Structure 1
Amino acid sequence: MTDTPRISAGESQVMEALWSSGPLSADEIVRQVAPAQGWGEATVKTLINRLLKKKALVSERSEGRTLYRPLISREAYLTEESQGLLDRLFGGRLAPMVAHFARQQQLSPEEMAQLKRLIREMDTED
């Protein structure tokens, strides 16, 4: 695992807004995140402050406004979260996780083809 800060589910909503829309003001983040979550302005601003303390965000002044931008990439976040899930539930092993989901979910022919293609690509990289 890396130094990527632990981001809660709520905080991830703020991060998703910033990853998809670039630097945003607090009011813009509130408008993007609050309605779908049923949150008030204070909740979103609390999440922003937590992310600042965790050094997941940085604030910058631009044209008289404070804008927030992520300091970690979505890719780094996904890697950290995925590895955490893998470690907690499957002992860090990918094959049992894939087998579990394949058994629990009905895979479409397209998904099966994607998995086979991925395995072939990984096999040729060796």
Structure 2
Amino acid sequence: MTISEAESAIMECLWQGAPRTAEDILAEVAPRQGWQEGTVKSLLNRLLKKKAIKAERDGRRYLYTPLLSREKYVSQESKGLLDRLFGGRVAPLVAHFSEQRKLSKKDIAELRRLLEELDDEH
């Protein structure tokens, strides 16, 4: 499932708390994005068609809830990035970041800790 950048703004809103009405989503997302009500409703409809969210009738309005978890979305997106740009390998990604911007001491310490944990597991 591919989620566009605009759709991800709606998803982030729903991941922070659901269920939400279209009005709730509009109130949270529109000021940051400069969107009108029609844009939010179009994005909600696209997400419904993709089955990333569901809508349940609540009187005369709908309550929207994510079906796609944030964890699954992040996993899909990061795998796609690794596959597209780095041949599915993590080391070239880390090398790229270290070349483009200096990794902080905190970043390096965290990477070392993660590597040690991985090494202990194998």
TM-score > 0.5 by shorter chain? yes
- Structure 1 gaps, min length 5: none
In the other structure, the counterpart of 1:122 is: 118
Letter of the aligned partner of 1:24 in structure 2? R
1:47 is matched with which residue? 43
- Which residue matches 2:94? 98
Tell me if 1:29 matches 2:25. yes
Length-normalised TM-score, structure 1:
0.93
Which of 7, 10, 20 aligns to 1:11? It is 7
Three-state SS of the structure 2 residue aligned to 1:60 is strand
Amino acid aligned to 1:53: K
Aligned mates of 2:60, 2:5 — CA distance in 1: 31
* Superposition misfits of 4+ residues, deviation over 2 angstroms: 61-65
Paired-residue identity, %: 57
How far apart in 2 are the matches of 1:33 and 1:87? 31
Q: How many residues align?
A: 122
1:113, CA displacement in angstroms? 0.4
> Where do 5+ consecutive residues of structure 2 fail to align?
none
Match of 1:81 in 2: 77
